[in-house]
Amino acid sequence: MFDLMPFGHNEKSLFDYLDNFERSFFGDAFGGSVSQFRTDIVDKGDKYILQAELPGFAKEDIHIDVDGDYLVIHGEHNAQVEENHHKFVRKERRYGSFSRSFNIANVKADAISASYQNGILELTLPKKEETPPPTRQIDIK
């Protein structure tokens, strides 16, 4: 099915096609892009490993909160106001904020740990131990 997608000459994958579609549809709204950061989640048996691409962020600009059964990752790039007004030939770097939520109903929320290195945020999400539902016998009257 994907080989039927009409890719342009600059689009090398489905992701490029979708990113370009999003930019053309929304234009400069929301700072030029409404896309969220890219995330991989791997099931390691007793835990999940979530890796999120956040290049260019300072660790202090990333906030991770647990809100009920949801993990919320929020970050913000602040625009740097420069004294010198340069005449840019091209400016692609954007500033703004992002927020993304993940359902963690089957995760031990109090045991989540995080690290940030080389633009990759990595969260270790230990799974809750699965307890089988209680069984009981029902007497017939």
Phi and psi at 17, nearest 5°, equal -60, -45
Predicted pLDDT at 45: 92
Architecture of domain 36-79+96-126: Sandwich (2.60)
For the stretch 78-119, pLDDT in tens is 666 555 566 777 766 667 778 899 999 999 999 999 999 999
Q: Where are the domains of the chain?
A: 36-79+96-126
Predicted pLDDT at 120: 95
For the stretch 14-58, pLDDT in tens is 656 655 655 555 444 444 343 478 899 999 999 999 999 988 888
Sequence-ordered list of residues with C-beta below 8 angstroms from that of 2, at least 6 positions apart, any chain: 14
